[in-house]
Amino acid sequence: KARGKGQYQAFVAEMDSDFRYRQRLKSDLALAIAQDELKLFYQPLVDLGTRRVAGCEALARWTHPELGPIPPDVFIGLAEETGQISAITRWVLRTATAECVNWPKSVSVAVNVSARDLRGEDLAMHVSEALEASGLAPGRLEIEVTETALIEDREGAAAKLELLAANGIGIALDDFGTGYSSLSYLHGMAFSKLKIDRSFIAGITTSERSLKLMANVARLGRDLDLVLVAEGVETEDQLEAIASHTTIDQVQGFLFGRPMPADETRELIASMNQADARPRGAKARRP
């Protein structure tokens, strides 16, 4: 009994310190943008057929001056609670589009938006502001949304995405297959790309069922005219399995590069996309 009470007190103390930690992060986040603590990293999406970089996903990084690196899964969630996400998304859009204009014209940039961005009224304005400031063609910007971000106000979100798509901006359904009722989101939403979650890739070299699942999800996406991305490709064997058994168009993962700073991204694109890089048709696509 005494031990039970001790455990309970430890639990309360932990809850309390977790609460205080989150409160601290929330208030410090307000200054993070102004004090230049946020950075954008980029991770390449590689075309399977040409082995060239087709685009890069912008991923936010926050290094807290005292607490060190805070994962985006943590601070993006907090920013959603406080409403600061709108300012962060605006900054990400501005920074990512300004960087993308330095890349070859065939390379696009993808920006993640959250549920709250899709509920509010700022997103379309921030997108057009970023495109105008950078001079980037709308066709080189892609917006990534997860299924969970669409749950709350599905109609409203669909209308906002539709408007962006009508202006030539690509819309990707991120982490596909992990949310609630994934397939239902493929109705009536303006998606141009499906990013199949890395949990589907993890088992494809060891499990026949995983490979079949992946191949059939890809087939479905292909029938719906979506560009297909496999997320979380970490090994050559996974790449080989994807290339020979599925209709995946692009791969993203540690195999081709971890998220990296802008200057390294430029170098990577320059070296992978040079004219004498691997010839087209390297991919064995099944009929």
Least Cα distance to 249 among 209, 219, 208 occurs for 219
Question: Cα-flanking dihedrals φ and ψ of residue 83, to 5°?
Answer: 95, -5
Span of 4-12, 110-118, 201-209, 263-271 interacting with Mg ion by CB under 5 A: 110-118
Number of Cβ within 10 Å of residue 281's Cβ equals: 9
Least Cα distance to 232 among 189, 205, 195, 269 occurs for 195
The length of the chain in residues reads 287
Residue list 139-168, contact with ligand C2E (CB under 6 A): 144
254 sits near ligand C2E (criterion: CB under 6 A) = yes
60 sits near ligand C2E (criterion: CB under 6 A) = yes
Q: How far is the CB of 8 from ligand C2E (least distance, A)?
A: 33
Task: Specify whether the CB–CB gap between 42 and 99 falls below 8 A.
Answer: yes
Please give the radius of gyration of the chain, using alpha carbons only, rounded to the nearest integer: 20
44 sits near ligand C2E (criterion: CB under 6 A) = no
Q: How far is the CB of 171 from Mg ion (least distance, A)?
A: 12
Amino acid at 107: V
Q: How far is the CB of 73 from ligand C2E (least distance, A)?
A: 5
Question: Collapsing DSSP states into helix, strand and coil, what is residue 152?
Answer: coil
The one among 86, 97, 112, 238 contacting ligand C2E by CB under 6 A: 112
Span of 28-36, 116-124, 138-146, 257-265 interacting with Mg ion by CB under 5 A: 138-146
Provide the binding-site residues for ligand C2E, judged by CB under 6 A: 43, 59-60, 71-73, 76, 92, 112-114, 144, 174-175, 198, 232-234, 252-254, 259
